[in-house]
Amino acid sequence: MLQYCKVMLWETAFLSVIVVSLVSFVGVFTLSLSTVRLRKILFALISLSVGALLGDVFLHILPELDITPVSMTFVFVGFLIFFILEKFLLWHHGHEGEVHDPAIELDRSHNNKHIGYLNIISDGLHNFIDGLVIGGSYLVSMEVGIATTIAVILHEIPQEIGDFGLLMHVGFSRSRALFYNFISALAAVVGLGVVFLIQSGSENIISAILPVTAGGFLYIAASDLVPELHKVNQPAKSLVQLLSIITGFGLMALLLAVE
């Protein structure tokens, strides 16, 4: 019975990373949207992502930890890891303001495809980490794994829309942009595989993965997403952002009912 539960757990984890990978196709829906409408949707999705990420940290991940100076240090380490990773990627991109904006205007008279390839590589690294995060969360419980998967999906949707827009603008065809986005997204499966291999030798990995995951989610929400929300300061739109953040947090709270 115990062996059956473990198999079911990993099957669900594998299905989760496949669903996360399929989110890479969400960009195709942006083709029928105007730039103004797309920007409005992006800010709403980013706000929803902030709430979901913070809800996953404070309602699902941290309660599973023994709150000690050591575990909180691992949270800080996770925050630093994502800070260093983003610094590294920004050094290589050299286009900080262009990477995640689907409405950018790049000069097609020059060969800008290298920007697209760099973006694909960096997203592959992020998706690999997503696989590690999802796998580590399922090691705790099915409920925490599902909650983390939802948080990752809500974070990936606006990012994938932006990535697809970037690839289109630098000269990729629609089919090629979708293909490369999907290949990059499959790195999450590799990340899950790494967790599965390590877990089979030592389940103690979860004590390090979860706090590092919490630190990473806190960094993404506070450092990457919230500053994007501050670019909009109209009262009505700010209220929509606030409600979207609360909704994202509320989704994570609702999952507590099934634990």
Domain layout of the chain by residue ranges:
32-258
Predicted local confidence at residue 189, as pLDDT: 92
Q: What is the C-alpha separation between 121 and 163, in angstroms, rounded?
A: 12
Please classify residue 15 by burial: count the beta carbons closer than 10 Å to its beta carbon, then call 0-12 exposed, 13-18 middle and 19+ buried. exposed
pLDDT along the chain (259 residues), means of 10: 68 90 77 64 79 88 87 92 78 49 41 66 78 85 87 77 68 80 89 80 62 86 84 87 91 75
Nearby residues of 179 by Cβ (< 8 Å), 6 or more positions away: none
Predicted local confidence at residue 112, as pLDDT: 60
Q: What is the C-alpha separation between 109 and 5, in angstroms, rounded?
A: 56
Predicted local confidence at residue 53, as pLDDT: 85
